[in-house]
Structure 1
Amino acid sequence: MNNNIYSLQEDRVIDYYINSPGVSKAKKQALRSIKSALLSDFRVYKLLGQLGQFHQVASKISTISESDSSTLELLYGSYLSKSGVRKDIFSNELICPGCQYSYATLRSTLDHFLPSSNYPNFYVFPLNLIPTCGDCNRIKNDVIPMSKNDNLPHPYFDKKLFNKHWLKIEISQVSPLKYSFNVRDELSTNDIYKVLNHLISYELEDTLFVHVDSIFEQNDEDLKDIFDTCGERGVREYILMLKQGSYISPASENFVPLNLEYAFFDALYQSDWFCNQYYMD
């Protein structure tokens, strides 16, 4: 994540609209009248984001009228791009933080982390706009945290969490191969809730199984051949090579917390049963 997102002027889109020719004086004045309240709401957002307490936002921000909400929606639809803010936001992210699989490009969508249908205050607030693939944006939709344990990980505020591996895979001692997903033990309780909420909100469980099944299918035949010729030691060495090859450093811009290849090969490597017995006739 590029830190430039924090340097974006909070009211840049608002000021661009106010200073744009062709906008009626009445609309400019209406926006000026709520600008101070919006800036206060933005400060609340940043504070709660730093604390991981977005469930408290509803009680701490101003009330937006339907008319002002429509104006802010117009700013998002027509002036976010014109002001250059949309392009600047997309320059901060390469991969969709939802599925962590699809690329987030200018052709992708912007997800309102706190949904605009409930919080129009943040329609054009840069820190509420997350580059997201269309599928993830549609699936997440209007998820709202109602309690501390409902919060999702925020790509801009939970950078430490987004620089950690989230999942571990546990191999069951049955054939054909079966496995299960779990959250890594080293994560804090609060972070575990966030990761689980992320998986649920983006409906990722089935997708995770599909991807891991595909990874295994791509390597199953080679692993069997190696077991038949080199035994357990050869299998373990080959899996270690795959595990090391799939590792991505958290310092890399390509790192994603849901690195399924690394989690799966690590699980196979740690499973004495798989390395010793899975391919026995």
Structure 2
Amino acid sequence: MRKIDKPTITAAEVFPICVSTVGNAAFRGRLTACQTLINNAENEFENKITKGLVHTILTETLVNGNVTNEDLKKLYTGQMVAKPQGRAYYDKLIMSAPQGICPLCSHGEATTLDHYLPKTKFPRLSVVPINLVPSCKDCNTGKLADCPTGPTDETLHPYFDNIENEKWLIAEVNKTDPLSLKFGVSAHPRWSALLSARVVSHLHCFDLKKLYASQAARRLSGMKYNLERIFSTPAGTAGVKKYLADEADSYEHVNLNSWESAMYRALAEDDWFCSGGFRFIA
């Protein structure tokens, strides 16, 4: 996961702008009356996000007695996504993704916004900026969990969690035919038990182990010829190790916990792979 600076825009700014473009005056009035409740929901979310308490936020289908979750979902899709006034905020949030890459998986292109807590169950957070995370389409639509039910299954949040400077994503070479890579989490000693569980939950929720393994398989196939070429020189195993270690250093300089960083480091440190095991690449 990549860290992103928390948005400076708030619900107090975004919500009334979105509401102002609603055509029906009566509906606009009902939405406007929800402003304080929207602000309170934003504050509650921020107070609970890093404490393992997000799961205690109550779901609801009706806000302020007369605004449904469908009403607020439509405010997001119809006013924040579709109307120029709201779209300016939508685009600003997407553009906050580092290098345009999804911060949730560190792989796909950030082209949409993911609701950390789904707008269907938490309608007050439908257009709250800190609940909207730039993401790729796969992360946005492929979550394995709808919303957390306990503290240990709350995923990481790019605006509030920062684990970029500590190595935690690891890979392991499966010495099979064909060989493959398995990805996992190595919790940092300074992490709390809760943070460690949330990192594991993050990989599971977005099915990242499977994503990284499939991407690694493609990369391995592309490097097999080059590894054989290096191995056949006088440098042999040492040459293969150096090549892989150099690649690991390069990728770690950009992102310590990318799947490429974990893959190249695992390969460089595996004697079996470097001494000819790479020939089992499919």
Q: TM-score range by the shorter chain?
A: 0.7 to 0.9
Q: TM-score, normalised by structure 2?
A: 0.83
Secondary structure of 1:215's aligned partner? helix
Aligned length: 268
Which residue is 2:109 aligned to? 103
User: 1:114: Cα distance to partner?
Assistant: 0.1
- Measured after TM superposition, the shift of residue 85 of structure 1 is 1.4
Partner of 2:277: 278
8 Å Cα contact 1:103/1:133 also seen in 2: yes
| Matching residue's letter, 1:199 | L
Alpha-carbon spacing, 1:68–1:228, altered in 2? closer, same or farther (3 Å): same
Residue by residue over 1:200-256, the C-alpha shift from the partner in whole angstroms, topping out at 9 and shown as x without a partner, is 22223332221111121122222122222222222222222222232234xxxxx47
Measured after TM superposition, the shift of residue 23 of structure 1 is 4.0
Q: 1:114 to 1:79 in 2, by over 3 A?
A: same
What is the identity, as a one-letter code, of the residue corresponding to 1:145? P
Instruction: Provide the TM-score with structure 1 as the length reference.
Output: 0.83
Report the Cα distance in structure 1 between the residues aligned to 2:18 and 2:157, rounded to whole angstroms.
Answer: 28
Percent identity of the aligned residues? 25
Q: Does 1:9 align with 2:10?
A: yes
When residues 256 and 245 of structure 1 are mapped into structure 2, their CA distance, relative to the original with a 3 A threshold, is closer
* Equivalent runs, 1:264-275 vs 2, <5 Å: 264-275=263-274
Gaps of 5+ in 1: 250-254
- Quote the RMSD (CA, aligned, Å): 2.8
Contact 1:102–1:133 (Cα < 8 Å) also in 2: yes
Per-residue displacement from partner, 1:247-270 (whole Å, max 9, x unpaired)? 234xxxxx473x122111111111
Aligned partner of 2:35 in structure 1 is 35
Unaligned runs of 5+ in 2: none
Asked if residue 114 in structure 1 is aligned to residue 113 in structure 2, the reply is no
Over 3 Å counting, the alpha-carbon distance change for 1:201 and 1:256 in structure 2 is farther
Structure 1 equivalent of residue 251 of structure 2: 246
1:140-199 C-alpha deviation (Å, 9 max, x unpaired): 2762111111110011111x1255444211224455434322212426332332222222
- Whole-angstrom distance in 1 between the partners of 2:147 and 2:216: 30
Pairing 1:12-91 to 2, within 5 Å after superposition: 12-20=13-21, 22-24=23-25, 26-58=26-58, 64=63, 65=65, 67-81=67-81, 82-83=85-86, 84-91=88-95
Structure 1: how far apart are the matches of 2:278 and 2:74?
61
